[in-house]
Amino acid sequence: MDVLKLLPKTELHCHLDGSVRPKTMYELLLKEGIIEVNDFREFEELVMVKDDCKSLIEYLKKFQYPLSIMQKKENMERITYELLEDLNAQNVKYVEIRFAPYLHTKEGLSFEEVVESVLVGMERAKKDFGIWSNAVLICMRNERVEESIKVIKNGAKYIGKGVVAVDLAGNEQDFPPEIHQKAFNLAYDMGYNITIHAGETGIAENIPKSIELLHAQRIGHGIAAAKDPKVMELLKEKNIFLEMCPISNLQTKSVKSIEDYPIRKFLAKGLKVTVNTDNITVSNTSLEREYQLLMEKLDFTIEEVVGLIQNSIDAAFIKDNERDILRKKVDEELRNMELI
Ligand X SMILES: O=c1[nH]cnc2c1ncn2[C@@H]1O[C@H](CO)[C@@H](O)[C@H]1O
- Catalog residues that contact ligand X under the rule CB under 6 A: 15, 17-18, 56, 60, 63, 99-100, 103, 138, 169-170, 197, 200, 248, 278-279
Which residues share a beta bridge with 15?
Answer: 98
- Smallest separation (angstroms) from ligand X to the CB of 162: 17
Q: Cβ 220 to ligand X, closest distance in Å?
A: 7
In the set 77, 200, 243, 290, the catalytic residue is 200
Size of the site for Zn ion (CB under 5 A): 1
CA-wise closest residue to 279 among 3, 14, 8, 1: 14
**197 known member of a binding site:** yes
Please tell me the distance from the alpha carbon of residue 238 to that of residue 240, in angstroms, as a whole number.
Answer: 5
φ, ψ for residue 119, nearest 5 deg: -65, -35
Nearer to ligand X by C-beta: 7 or 103? 103
Residue with smaller CB distance to ligand X, 15 or 180: 15
Q: Is 170 among the annotated ligand-binding positions?
A: yes
Nearest approach in angstroms of CB 200 to ligand X is 6
Q: Where are the alpha helices (DSSP H) in 62-205?
A: 64-69, 73-89, 111-129, 145-155, 181-190
215 annotated as a binding-site residue: no
Residue type, 177: P
- The phi, psi pair for 64, rounded to 5°, reads -60, -30
The partner in contact with residue 222, picked from ligand X, Zn ion, none with C-beta cut-offs of 5 to 8 angstroms by kind, is: none
86 marked ligand binding residue: no
Q: List the single partner that 200 binds among Zn ion, ligand X, none, CB under 5 to 8 Å by kind.
A: ligand X
Q: How far apart are CA 194 and CA 164, in angstroms?
A: 9
Q: Which is nearer to ligand X, 170 or 199 (CB)?
A: 170
Least spacing, CB of residue 229 vs ligand X, in Å = 25
Is residue 200 among the annotated active site residues?
yes
Task: Rule CB under 5 A: choose which of 278, 280, 300, 326 binds Zn ion.
Answer: 278
Site string for Zn ion, 3-42 (x = CB under 5 A): ----------------------------------------
* Closer by beta carbon to ligand X, 78 or else 197: 197
**Number of other CB atoms surrounding residue 291 within 10 Å:** 24
CB-CB contact of 288 with 87 (8 Å)? no
The listed partner (Zn ion, ligand X, none) that binds 170, CB under 5 to 8 Å by sort, is ligand X
Query: Is residue 17 part of an annotated ligand binding site?
Result: yes
Could you say whether residue 96 binds Zn ion (CB under 5 A)?
Answer: no
Q: Is 15 annotated as a binding residue?
A: yes
Picking from 202, 200, 129, 141, the residue whose alpha carbon sits closest to that of residue 167 is: 141
Alpha-carbon gap, residue 188 to 39, rounded angstroms: 47
Residue 278 CB, shortest distance to Zn ion, in Å, is 5
Give the Cβ contact number of residue 174 at 10 Å: 10
Binding partner of residue 279 among Zn ion, ligand X, none, CB cut-off 5 to 8 Å per kind:
ligand X
Strand 92-99: give its sheet, edge to edge: 9-15, 92-99, 132-140, 163-169, 193-198, 218-221, 241-244, 272-275
Q: Segment contacting Zn ion (CB under 5 A): 52-60, 136-144, 278-286, 304-312?
A: 278-286
Question: Which residue's CB is nearer to Zn ion, number 11 or number 278?
Answer: 278
Helical residues (DSSP H) of the chain, grouped into ranges: 2-6, 22-31, 40-47, 56-60, 64-69, 73-89, 111-129, 145-155, 181-190, 206-212, 229-237, 246-251, 263-268, 287-298, 302-315, 320-336
- Give me the least distance between CB of 169 and Zn ion, in Å please: 6
Q: Which residues are annotated as a binding site?
A: 13, 15, 17, 170, 197, 278
Q: Which residues bind Zn ion (CB under 5 A)?
A: 278
Q: Which residues are annotated as a binding site for substrate?
A: 15, 17, 170
Active site residue ranges:
200
Q: Which residues are annotated as a binding site for Zn(2+)?
A: 13, 15, 197, 278
